[in-house]
Structure 1
Amino acid sequence: MKLLLLFIVAMSAYSANCALTDAEVTQKFNEFKTKYGKTYADANEENFRKQLFAKNLEKIEEHNKKYEQGQVTYTMGVNQFSDLTPEEMRPYTHGVLRPKN
């Protein structure tokens, strides 16, 4: 149930802000899976992870546009964590997450 709720939240956030086409997201997701050796239990899990990846990719692109405009001082990029929820990231960040603006 929690996985379904996270999927719905990811889908709605992604749909509301989508600047990339589905084909672009699919290509980048496939490159991500290859680069980081990602495999998923089934098609539902893969679709869920793809939607999380798309949401995170959108955040990365928005942030990097701010960098290009001189609004922030660093860039962001896709990494091995780009298909995780914030809760799943917590062990890797020791519970420290950036505050929302």
Structure 2
Amino acid sequence: MKFTLVLLIVAAFVGCALSWSCTDASWAEYKAKFNKNYPDPAEDLRHHNIYCEKLAQINEHNAKFQKGESTFEMGVNQFTDMSAKEMTEWMG
């Protein structure tokens, strides 16, 4: 349920790219765009891993969208590096 909620929130802030890649450069761009700062390297790595997992989910979903198997396209937003627990806490 929480995972579905996160995906719906991601879908609500649709991006234009057809495919997102998980690179150090894209992670740095993401953090700059959404003003994310993780001074602790372990915390940065944890959020980077979440970001990469969500990019894979976004790409998988968007491939289905391109085939007409879904009615909406997903994109990256300020929640892409947050866990389901963090999303729940953020929503209160």
TM-score between the two structures when normalised by the length of structure 2? 0.71
State how 1:1-101 maps to structure 2 within 5 Å.
24-92=22-90
| Corresponding residue of 2:5 | none
State the aligned residue count: 73
Instruction: Give the Cα separation in 2 of the matches to 1:30 and 1:91.
Output: 25
The unaligned stretches of length 5 or more in structure 1 are 1-19, 95-101
Instruction: Give the Cα separation in 2 of the matches to 1:62 and 1:25.
Output: 17
Identity of aligned residues (%): 33
Instruction: Give the Cα separation in 2 of the matches to 1:93 and 1:67.
Output: 28
Instruction: Give the Cα separation in 2 of the matches to 1:88 and 1:25.
Output: 23
> Partner letter of residue 41 of structure 1?
P
Instruction: Give the Cα separation in 2 of the matches to 1:69 and 1:53.
Output: 24
**Deviation (angstroms), 1:30:** 1.0
What's the secondary structure of 2:23's corresponding residue? helix
> Partner letter of residue 88 of structure 2?
R
Q: Deviations over 1:39-80 (max 9, x none)?
A: 013111101110000001110010000000000000111100
What's the secondary structure of 2:74's corresponding residue? coil
Instruction: Give the Cα separation in 1 of the matches to 2:30 and 2:72.
Output: 21
Indicate the structure with greater helix content.
1
Q: State which structure, 1 or 2, has the greater radius of gyration over its C-alpha atoms.
A: 1
| Corresponding residue of 1:7 | none
Alpha-carbon RMSD across the aligned residues, in angstroms, is 1.9
The unaligned stretches of length 5 or more in structure 2 are 1-19
